[in-house]
Amino acid sequence: MVDFLEYEGKELFKRYGIPVPNFHVIRAPEDVPEFNGRMVVKAQVPTGGRGKRGGVRIVNSRDEAIKAIQEISQISFDGFKPEAFVLEDAVNVKRELYISVTLDRSVELPIVLASAEGGVDINSVPQEKIYRHAINPFVGVTQYLKRELSSFLGLSSEKAEQLGKILEGLYKIYDEMDASLAEINPLADTDSGLLALDSKITIEDDALFRHKDITPKYYILDPVEREAKEKGLAFVKLEGDIGIIANGAGLNMATIDLIALNGGKPADFFDLGGTDDPQKVVDALRLASKVTHKVLFVNIFGGVTKCDTVARGIVQAFKELKPSFKLVVRVRGANEDEGRRILEENGIRSLLNLDEAVKEVIRLAGE
Amino acid sequence: MVDFLEYEGKELFKRYGIPVPNFHVIRAPEDVPEFNGRMVVKAQVPTGGRGKRGGVRIVNSRDEAIKAIQEISQISFDGFKPEAFVLEDAVNVKRELYISVTLDRSVELPIVLASAEGGVDINSVPQEKIYRHAINPFVGVTQYLKRELSSFLGLSSEKAEQLGKILEGLYKIYDEMDASLAEINPLADTDSGLLALDSKITIEDDALFRHKDITPKYYILDPVEREAKEKGLAFVKLEGDIGIIANGAGLNMATIDLIALNGGKPADFFDLGGTDDPQKVVDALRLASKVTHKVLFVNIFGGVTKCDTVARGIVQAFKELKPSFKLVVRVRGANEDEGRRILEENGIRSLLNLDEAVKEVIRLAGE
Amino acid sequence: MAIILKENVPTIVQGITGHQGSFHAEQMKIFGTNIVGGVTPGKGGTTVKGVPVFNSVSEAIRNTGARASVVFVPAPFAFDSVVEAIDSGLELVTVITEHIPFHDMVKLKLYAKIRGARIIGPNCPGITSVGIAKHGIMPNSIFREGSVGVVSRSGTLTYEIVNTITEAGLGETTVIGIGGDQVVGTNMQEAVSMFEDDERTKAIVVVGEIGGTAEEETAELIKRKVTKPVVAFIAGRSAPPGKRMGHAGAIITGGKGTAQSKVEAFKSAGVAVASSPSEIPKLLKERLKL
Amino acid sequence: MAIILKENVPTIVQGITGHQGSFHAEQMKIFGTNIVGGVTPGKGGTTVKGVPVFNSVSEAIRNTGARASVVFVPAPFAFDSVVEAIDSGLELVTVITEHIPFHDMVKLKLYAKIRGARIIGPNCPGITSVGIAKHGIMPNSIFREGSVGVVSRSGTLTYEIVNTITEAGLGETTVIGIGGDQVVGTNMQEAVSMFEDDERTKAIVVVGEIGGTAEEETAELIKRKVTKPVVAFIAGRSAPPGKRMGHAGAIITGGKGTAQSKVEAFKSAGVAVASSPSEIPKLLKERLKL
C-alpha cells in the first residue's frame, strides 16, 4: 500500500483539475520564498492528526515560516519526522466539506462518500450525515449524481458546477491511478469557490505494475516489518512472545487465534504463501530470529507448499542461524511423512495434530 | 451524417497516434512546396473510386504537382469538384491491408473488420478473408484481440505491436468521436512499418451535440435534398413522379411501397415526424413544389401529429404556393373528422382508406 | 396476460415538464396507466396535469413506489436519464426520445443487462398492453382487447396496422414499438419469443423494415421455436440501396438489409408476408381459422 | 449433485506452460478432471504433460469443445485472460492468480454478468466437487464424498478444515474457496444460497475471516432462507484493527469487519460458530444428529 503525502496528492489534484491553494514544497529552510500575507506551514507526515500535535502553523513572513519549520522538525508524529513541508496560501474557510472515492466491498463498486461535516475523520461522522452513492466504472460520474451530491451539500449552482468537476477529477484519480482511496478532507467552501485543503491518496501494491512512475515508499517504523515489506514477504507484526510461520493467510490467522484462545501471546506471523521454495522458509526463520521470541511455531498444511520442503528449510535455517527460541513444528498434508523424517533425523520433533501442537507451544512459552 | 475528407481523417489519425505519410493540404497551386523525390497528389472528394478516374497522380517536382492539380481540378467525381488536394510522400507498399471499426447491428457492439486484401471495397472481399471481432465498449481493445488480428494479417512481432497501437487509436476515434465508421483502407505494409494511406471517418448527425467543433458539411448535389438536410427536415429523394408526405418513416416507406406495388413511381418522400406543427406541413409542401411532381400524396395516420393540423397546413400552403401538381389527401386517426372538414371547406377532397387513396394517386398519375 | 407490461405498474414520466412529456403523461393517464409522478431536475415540488414532479428518480421512487418510467428527455440528456432510472432500480424504461447516438444505446443496453433492467426504444412509440396500461405515445383509440401480439420497428405504421387489425374485428394483447434505430433496448427476436410464451397471444404480427438483420434473425427464431401463426409486413420494398429511409436503422448497406432478403427469410420460416397493411387482418383470420 | 461444478465439463488451463499451471494441470488430471487443453500465446502446437497447448482460448474451444477454464496467468495479464475466456464463451472461469488489482475485479465481475459467465476467485484455491472434478489447486488427498458443502475465503485453512471433516468420517459435496481478495467473482452469499438449493448437501460449513461484511450479509441470508444446518469458523479473532492479515481482504477498517461482529451475526442467525477447526466436525455431527 502506497500512501501519498499531502503535497504528492495535491500535485495529482492539480493534474486532474481539482483546485488547490497555491503552495510550495519546502525541503529545507532555504526553499522558503519571500512572501506577503498569511500562509500556512504544514508538516508532510504519513499519519493523521498532525494539527493537534503542532504540525500546522499560520505564518506571516519568511522568517516566521522558517522558524515554524525548524520547530515542527523537532516534533515526532507517531514516530515519523516530517520529510518536507507545504507552505501554502491561508484560505478563509466558510465550511469544511468532505468528499472521497473508495471501494465499497459490499456492493463491489466504487463509492462516493461526502459530507457537509468535513475536516474530521469520516468514521466519526454520523451515518445520516454522509452521502453515499455507488459509481459504476462502465458509466463513470453521471450528471444526476452531481446534482444529488450538490444538493446534499447545499451548494449554489456555481459551486455545484465546480463540485461536479472536482468529483470527476477525484473519480478519475481513483480509476486511472488504481487508488483504493482518493480523499479530499477538508474541501474548503470559500467565497471564491471550492478548494482542496488536504489530500489523501492510497494505492494498492497490486496495481503498481501499471504505474512504473510511482516509487513505492513504505512508512513502516519497525525495521523487521519494513525489511519484510521491501522484500515482498508477507509478515505481520503483533505484540507477544510466540512467533508463527504458516502457509496461507487464513491458516496463519487461525493459528494465532488458537494460540490466543489457549492463553498464548502471538508475536508475529509470517506467511509462506503458495510457493514451494525452501529459501522462503530460511528467510522466514531469519526474520523471525531478528525478533525476540520465546517460542516459534511452524504450522504447515501441505498443498502447493510441501512438508518436506519446509522441513529442509527449517533444518538449513537452524544450521545457519542457531536461534535461541524454542521450536514447535506441526506438519500435515503433502509429503508429511518425508517432512517428519527429515526433521527427526535432525533432532527436531514434529507433531501432526494442530490442537496438540498449540498446547505444546503454550506449555513452552510458559516455561 | 458527416463524412470526413481524407486529409481531415488523417489529421485525426495523427492526433490518435496512427502513422500516416508526411502530407500537405493544398487548396491552391501556390500552396505546393518545393520538394525532392516522389510524391502523390490526391483529389479530396467525398466519393470513392477517385483513382480510377484520374484523381491520384505520382509527381516528381513542384511543377509536376501544380500541373497535376490543375488537371485534376477539371475532373468531376460523381458531380463533385475537388475542394482541396493532399500532396504526400509516395510510399513503397509491399501489401495493402484493410482495417476498420464500425457498428455490428446484429451483435449490437462495435466490431473490428480487417483483411490482408486491402485497397478495394471491403464488400467485394470474400467473407472468409475478413477478420471480424466484436469490441465491448466497457472493456475496449484487448491484448488477445491484438494478437489474433496480427496473426490473421501475418505480421511480424514488431509490426504486430504497431498494429496494436493503430487499432487502439482507431477504436478511440470510433468511441471518442462517436464515429459510425473509422476505416483505414489501405493500411500500407512497408519496409519501414505500417502507414495509413487513406482515411474514411463518418459521424452520425445524432452525435454532433457532443462535438461542437465539427461543422457539418453535407455533400449532397441535389439542391432540394441539400436544403432539406440543412434545415433538418426528413426528406428522401427518389426517382419518379409521385411525391409523398406522410408522418413517420415506416408509414412513408409503406406508402411508397404501396404506390410502387400498384405501378406508380414515387418521386420523393417527406417525413412530418412526430411534432404537431402546421408550419412543418407548409415547409414540406414548399419543398415538394420545388420538385416537378404529377401527383402529391399526403398520407397521415394521426397520433402526435393531428389530422386537423395537417389539414390547416395543407390549406395554408396551397394558398401561398399555388402548386401545379394534383393532390390526394388521406387522413386517419387523431382528429380525422375535423381534418376532413377543414379540407372540404377549402375544396380539397380527402379519403379515409389507404388502399383507395393509393388507387386514386395511381389513377391521377396516369392521366 | 400480455408481454413485458403485464400489470399496471406505478410509472413515472422523465421529462414530464416538456411539451411532449406533459401531453403524453395525460394521455397515458386517460388510457388508464398508473402514472404516479414525473421527474424534471429543478422542478421538484410542482405538478403537471395533477402529477407530482420530483427532482430525481430516486426521490420519485421514495415518494411513489414507481417501478417503471417513460423517458421524454432530449437526446443529449437521455443517456444520463436512463442510467439514473436503471441505477435507481426501475425495471422497465421506455425511451420515446429520438436521435440518441447509437454509441449511447450500445452502452445503455449492456448496462441494463448488468442491472437486470429492460429498456424499450429509443425512438419508439412505446408499449401498450391492451386492458392493462400504455407506456408511450400510441393513440389511445386504436386498440381493442384481443389475441394478436404486434411488434414493430415503426411508429405511425404500427398505428395504421393496429387500427386495421382492430377494425377487422380482431384485437391485440400487447403492441410493442421497438423503435427505428440501429440499436434498440428490446429487439424483435425478444418480443416474438415473449409472444410465443404468452398464453393469451394466439397470433403474432411482425412489422419490419429495411436495414439490419433483425428480421432474418427473427425468421430463424420462428423456424426454431415459434408455434403460433406469424404474419409479417416489411416496409421499404421499393427503397434504393444506400439511402437512409427516415429511420436511422432503415438503410441498405453493403448489400445487406434488403426487403427481399427479409421477405424471403420470413417466407422460408413459414411466415405469411403481407404486401399491404390491409392484407394483414385477412392473413391473420386465415391463420387463426376465423 | 454439487454446486457450480455439477459435471466434469471439458476444461482448459490458461497459463499452462508456467510452473504452477503445468503442475496443477497434471494434479487436476490425476483427480479426474476433464482437462482438454491449455492456452499460452505463442506456445500453440506444443504439449504440457500430454495436454495440447493453444495460442488462444477460441482456438482451444474450436479444437476441444472446452466450456470452462482455470487461470494461472500472472496478475498483470489476468484481466485480459479472463476477458478472453468470457468473450470466447466459457461458462466458468476459476482464477487462481493472486495480486490482481481489485479495480480489475470490479470490472471483470460486471463484465461476466453481461456475458452470463461465472468467475471464481481470484486468489483462491478453486472449486472441488467430490466425485466429479476439481478446478484449482486443492490437494487431491483431503476429500471424501459426503454431504457437507464448504465455502471458504481461505486456502490452506480450507484444506485443514476439509481434512478434519474427512478424518472425522464425514465427507463433502462441493468445496469452494472463493478467495481472500476484497472483490471476488463468486461470493459467500451466492455459495451458501446454492448449497441450500443443492439436494445432496445436508450441512454447510462457512469459513470466514475478518474484513468486509460478507459474513454479516451471509448471516442475513441464512436467517431469511437457509433451512440446512450451518457451522461457521471465523479466522482473525485476535487480529488488531488496521493491519492487513495476509489476505488483501482481511483488514478491519473504520471499525468494520471485526471477527466479533461476524461471530455475533452468525450466532444470531442460529449458526454454530466453532472456535477451532477441530470443533467443526463435532458441531456438524451434532447438527446432523449423527
Q: Which of C106, C158, C239 sits opposite B109 (nearest CB)?
A: C106
Tell me how many residue pairs between chain B and chain C have CB atoms under 8 A apart: 160
Summarize pLDDT for C93-135 with one digit per residue, the tens. 999 999 999 999 999 999 999 999 999 999 999 999 999 999 9
Identify the bridge partners of residue D256 per DSSP, sorted by sequence position. D253
Summarize pLDDT for D77-87 with one digit per residue, the tens. 999 999 999 99
Average model confidence (pLDDT) across chain C: 96
Interface mutation vs chain A, best among D137, D210, D238, most A CBs within 10 Å: D238
Catalytic-labelled residue, pool A8, A88, A183, A336: A183
Q: How far, in Å, CA of C81 to CA of D1, rounded?
A: 45
What's the pLDDT at A324?
Answer: 84
Section A209-231 average pLDDT:
86
Q: Strand C133-136's sheet: what is its strand order?
A: C133-136, C126-129, C172-177, C145-152, C203-209, C230-235, C272-274
The answer to whether the Cβ–Cβ distance between C278 and B301 falls below 8 Å is: no
Chain B hits for D56, Cβ within 8 Å: 144, 147-148
Residues B276 and B162 in one domain: no
Q: How far, in Å, CA of C52 to CA of D15, rounded?
A: 58
Section D16-41 average pLDDT:
97
A167, A183 Cβ separation under 8 angstroms:
no
What's the pLDDT at A32?
Answer: 96
A297, A267 Cβ separation under 8 angstroms:
no
Q: Which of B139, B144, B148 sits opposite D111 (nearest CB)?
A: B139
Boundary of a domain, candidates A51, A72, A89:
A89
The answer to whether the Cβ–Cβ distance between A249 and D180 falls below 8 Å is: yes
Chain C hits for B238, Cβ within 8 Å: 238, 240, 243
| pLDDT of B233 higher than 80 | no
Tell me how many residue pairs between chain C and chain D have CB atoms under 8 A apart: 6
The reply to whether C139-288 shares the fold of C11-120 is yes
D19 part of the active site: no
The answer to whether the Cβ–Cβ distance between A139 and C110 falls below 8 Å is: no
This model of the complex carries an ipTM of: 0.94
| Assigned C-alpha cell, A246 | 504458516
Chain C hits for A144, Cβ within 8 Å: 41, 56-57, 80-81, 83-84, 87
Residues 104-123 of A with CB under 8 A from D: 105-106, 108-110, 122-123
Q: Kindly give, in sequence order, each residue whose CB lies less than 8 Å from that of residue A280, ignoring residues fewer than 6 positions away.
A: A233, A272, A273, A313
Neighbours of B284 (CB within 10 A): 28
Pairing relationship of beta strands A242-246 and A295-302 according to DSSP bridges? parallel
Residues A283 and A314 in one domain: yes
- Domain enclosing residue B121, as ranges: 95-210
Cα-only R_g, chain D: 18
D288, D203 Cβ separation under 8 angstroms:
yes
Fold of C11-120: Rossmann fold (3.40.50)
Q: How far, in Å, CA of D133 to CA of D29, rounded?
A: 9
Q: B135 to chain D: nearest residue by CA? A: D87
Distance to chain B for D11, nearest Cα, Å: 19
Please, which pLDDT band fits residue A21 given cuts at 50, 70 and 90?
A: very high
**CA distances from residue A125 to A99, A116, A119, A122 in whole angstroms, order as listed:** 13, 10, 10, 5
| pLDDT of B54 higher than 90 | yes
**Residue type, position B298, single letter:** V
Q: C276 to chain B: nearest residue by CA? A: B258
Summarize pLDDT for B121-132 with one digit per residue, the tens. 999 999 999 999
| pLDDT of D288 higher than 80 | yes
Residues A161 and A101 in one domain: yes
Residues B235 and B359 in one domain: yes
Pairing relationship of beta strands C172-177 and C126-129 according to DSSP bridges? antiparallel
| Assigned C-alpha cell, D271 | 449458526
Residues B70 and B52 in one domain: yes
| pLDDT of B231 higher than 80 | no
The answer to whether the Cβ–Cβ distance between B143 and D80 falls below 8 Å is: yes
Section A221-228 average pLDDT:
84
Summarize pLDDT for A39-79 with one digit per residue, the tens. 999 999 999 889 999 999 999 999 999 999 999 999 999 99
Section C229-254 average pLDDT:
90
Residues B189 and B70 in one domain: no
Catalytic-labelled residue, pool C19, C24, C135, C247: C247
- The enclosing domain of B63 has a CATH number of 3.30.1490.20
Residue B5 within a domain: no
Residues A84 and A101 in one domain: no
Burial class (CB in 10 A: 0-12, 13-18, 19+), D279: middle
What's the pLDDT at C245?
Answer: 87
Please, which pLDDT band fits residue A286 given cuts at 50, 70 and 90?
A: confident
Q: How far, in Å, CA of D208 to CA of D152, rounded?
A: 6
The answer to whether the Cβ–Cβ distance between A301 and D156 falls below 8 Å is: yes
Question: Chain-centre distance of CA B294, in angstroms?
Answer: 29
C43, C233 Cβ separation under 8 angstroms:
no
Residues 26-85 of A with CB under 8 A from D: none
Per DSSP, helices labelled H in chain C are 19-31, 57-64, 75-87, 102-115, 156-167, 188-197, 214-225, 259-268, 279-287
Q: Which of D56, D110, D111 sits opposite B144 (nearest CB)?
A: D56
Section B43-64 average pLDDT:
94
Section C234-254 average pLDDT:
89
Chain C hits for A142, Cβ within 8 Å: 80, 83-84, 87
Residues B240 and B305 in one domain: yes
Chain A hits for C12, Cβ within 8 Å: none
Please, which pLDDT band fits residue A290 given cuts at 50, 70 and 90?
A: confident
Summarize pLDDT for B269-307 with one digit per residue, the tens. 889 887 778 888 888 888 888 887 899 999 999 988 899
Please, which pLDDT band fits residue D3 given cuts at 50, 70 and 90?
A: very high
Question: D267 and chain C: CB distance < 8 Å anywhere?
Answer: no
A87, A40 Cβ separation under 8 angstroms:
yes
Summarize pLDDT for D193-252 with one digit per residue, the tens. 999 999 999 999 999 999 999 999 999 999 999 999 999 999 999 998 888 888 888 888
B327: left (phi over 0), alpha (psi -120 to 50) or beta: beta
Section A242-262 average pLDDT:
95
| pLDDT of B216 higher than 90 | no
Summarize pLDDT for B67-117 with one digit per residue, the tens. 999 999 999 999 999 989 999 999 999 999 999 999 999 999 999 999 999
Residues A191 and A231 in one domain: no
| pLDDT of A238 higher than 90 | no
| Assigned C-alpha cell, C189 | 427476436
Residue B3 within a domain: no
Residues B336 and B298 in one domain: yes
Is the bond into C122 cis (omega within 30 degrees of 0)?
yes
Residues A230 and A352 in one domain: yes
What's the pLDDT at B291?
Answer: 81
Question: D6 and chain C: CB distance < 8 Å anywhere?
Answer: no
Q: How far, in Å, CA of A109 to CA of B231, rounded?
A: 45
What's the pLDDT at A233?
Answer: 74
Chain B hits for C75, Cβ within 8 Å: 206, 209
A210, A229 Cβ separation under 8 angstroms:
no
pTM: 0.95
The answer to whether the Cβ–Cβ distance between A144 and C107 falls below 8 Å is: no
What's the pLDDT at D27?
Answer: 96
What's the pLDDT at C8?
Answer: 98
Catalytic-labelled residue, pool B98, B131, B171, B174: B98
The answer to whether the Cβ–Cβ distance between A142 and C83 falls below 8 Å is: yes
Summarize pLDDT for C187-210 with one digit per residue, the tens. 999 999 999 999 999 999 999 999
Q: Which of D80, D107, D110 sits opposite B144 (nearest CB)?
A: D80
Identify the bridge partners of residue A115 per DSSP, sorted by sequence position. A98, A130
Residues A307 and A354 in one domain: yes
The answer to whether the Cβ–Cβ distance between D114 and B142 falls below 8 Å is: no
Burial class (CB in 10 A: 0-12, 13-18, 19+), B242: buried
Looking at domain D139-288, its CATH superfamily turns out to be Succinyl-CoA synthetase domains (3.40.50.261)
Chain D hits for C113, Cβ within 8 Å: 113-114
Q: What is the SS3 assignment for C277?
A: coil
- Contact partners for chain A, using 3 or more CB pairs closer than 8 A, are C, D
The answer to whether the Cβ–Cβ distance between D41 and B138 falls below 8 Å is: no
| Assigned C-alpha cell, A237 | 507484526
What's the pLDDT at A112?
Answer: 98
| Assigned C-alpha cell, B65 | 504537382
- The enclosing domain of B340 has a CATH number of 3.40.50.261
Q: In this prediction, what percent of chain A has a pLDDT beyond 70?
A: 100
Residue B9 within a domain: no
- Contact partners for chain D, using 3 or more CB pairs closer than 8 A, are A, B, C
| Assigned C-alpha cell, D147 | 454431504
Domain boundaries, chain C: 11-120, 139-288
Per DSSP, helices labelled H in A126-218 are 143-153, 157-176
What's the pLDDT at A137?
Answer: 97
Q: How far, in Å, CA of C248 to CA of C183, rounded?
A: 10
Summarize pLDDT for B317-365 with one digit per residue, the tens. 988 888 888 999 999 998 999 999 999 999 998 999 999 999 999 999 9
Chain A hits for D207, Cβ within 8 Å: 250
How many domains is chain B partitioned into structurally?
3
Chain B hits for D39, Cβ within 8 Å: none
Query: What is the SS3 assignment for D190-257?
Result: HHHHHHHHCCCCCEEEEEEECCCCHHHHHHHHHHHHCCCCEEEEEECCCCCCCCCCCCCCCCCECCEC
| Cβ density class B330-351: b for 16+ within 10 Å, e for less | bbbbbbbebbbebbeeeebebb
